[in-house]
Amino acid sequence: MAVRHWKTRSVDGLLSFFALLPLPALHMLGWLVGHLAYIVPNRARLIAATNINLCFPSKPTAQQRRLLRLCLVETGKTALEIGPIFKRQPQWLTRRWVADVFGAEHIEASLEHGKGLIFLAPHFGCWELLNMWVAERRPLTALYRPPRQRSLEPILLAGRSRSGVHMLPAGTQGIRGVMKALHAGESVGILPDQEPEGNEPFAPLFGQPAKTMTLASRVAYKSQAPVLFACARRLPAAKGFELHFIPADADIANPDPQLAAAAVNRGVEACVRLAPEQYQWTYKRFATQPDGHSPYPGRGKRRNKRKTATRA
């Protein structure tokens, strides 16, 4: 417990320090961190390079390297933005950081149905800013996956809950909370691009087979709530962020899990194509493959876990 307490206080102190810095300074530091990560061999660079090669095989080597460098720079910016996101006043951030909003009319149109609204937000740009902006306008319940370092969970929950977001751990209880919120006509947020456990289908993501969660699709099918993909694109020169809301493919609520999973990944691709360098390529999105192998160096064969998937 003492070790966890020390780690929690250290991380919290760093977040408080970075929260004092203006966005241009944060992005400059992120630029330095990203370039260092590009120069010095490290795990994140290796994973990102593998993902970029898998998803953009037709790009010349020079273009892949440029995308890798930009990706690591944007990853550095994302990490440093967490300080203000978790510590600054939410309304101050949304006023100062949100430069423009595209697709807000889809939110209003969707809410007219009275069945709630599902936001699917990939790990792109500053996805934490989306929670704040939406929560200012609508009651929002969001699912999250507890971090591996459990000592960081209190910081995560406190930071994300400050804007009024109701955070629930992914699982049976969380799904019940999501359905309850939708039945009340509220909004829910789900991250659609984490590799799921259990016997979930594979669907193409940038042409690569990716084990894809069907949780959001099952929730959409049972609730009949409309679905929007959402992302916050970082603007150059620390000018803030553009929020984008994109209607999901109709198959997102298809009872066929294969068709639904393909629709999920098409929506993720639509967000990523806005600025490919801002996607979280440092995540092992393709770690599980249909034949059991992993494309990431040093992994060798990987056994697929066949745990019973939680059903909505």
Q: Going along 60-127, which residue ranges are E strands? A: 98-102, 117-120
Strands 227-234 and 117-120: parallel
The tens-digit pLDDT sequence of the chain (312 residues) is 444 577 778 888 999 999 999 999 999 999 999 999 999 999 999 999 999 999 999 999 999 999 999 999 999 999 999 999 999 999 999 999 999 999 999 998 887 778 899 999 999 999 999 999 999 999 999 998 887 777 778 888 888 888 899 999 888 889 999 999 999 999 999 999 999 988 999 999 999 999 999 999 999 999 999 999 999 999 999 999 999 999 999 999 999 999 999 999 999 999 999 999 999 999 999 999 999 899 998 754 444 443 333 333
Q: How far apart are CA 90 and CA 96, in angstroms?
A: 10
| Whether the model pTM is above 0.85 | yes
- Give the per-residue pLDDT at 301: 46
Write the DSSP assignment of 96-112 as a string of letters.
HHEEEEESHHHHHHHHT
Structure tokens at 177: 């909370």
Q: How far apart are CA 143 and CA 188, in angstroms?
A: 8
- Give the per-residue pLDDT at 35: 97
Kindly list the domain boundaries of the chain, sorted by start residue: 90-278
Q: Is 268 in contact with 229 (CB distance < 8 Å)?
A: yes
- What is the 8-class DSSP label of residue 124? B
What lies within 8 Å, CB to CB, of 56 at 6+ separation is 63, 64, 67, 206, 276
Burial of residue 53, with CB atoms counted within 10 A of its CB: 0-12 exposed, 13-18 middle, 19 or more buried:
middle
Structure tokens at 299: 């992994």
The 117-120 sheet, strands edge to edge:
98-102, 241-247, 227-234, 117-120, 187-190, 140-144, 166-169
Q: With DSSP H G I counted as helix, E B as strand and the rest as coil, what are the percentages for the chain, rounded to 5?
A: 50, 15, 35
Q: Is 231 in contact with 274 (CB distance < 8 Å)?
A: yes
Q: How far apart are CA 125 and CA 79, in angstroms?
A: 10
Residue 235 phi, psi (nearest 5): -90, 155
- Give the per-residue pLDDT at 4: 55
- Give the per-residue pLDDT at 303: 43
Q: How far apart are CA 240 and CA 7, in angstroms?
A: 31
Q: How far apart are CA 140 and CA 123, in angstroms?
A: 18
Question: Is the torsion defined by CA of 110, 263, 289, 295 positive or negative?
Answer: negative
Q: How far apart are CA 58 and CA 247, in angstroms?
A: 29
The enclosing H or E element of 167 equals strand 166-169
Q: How far apart are CA 309 and CA 312, in angstroms?
A: 10
Helix (H, G, I), strand (E, B) or coil at 256: coil
The enclosing H or E element of 202 equals strand 202-205
Q: How far apart are CA 54 and CA 92, in angstroms?
A: 40
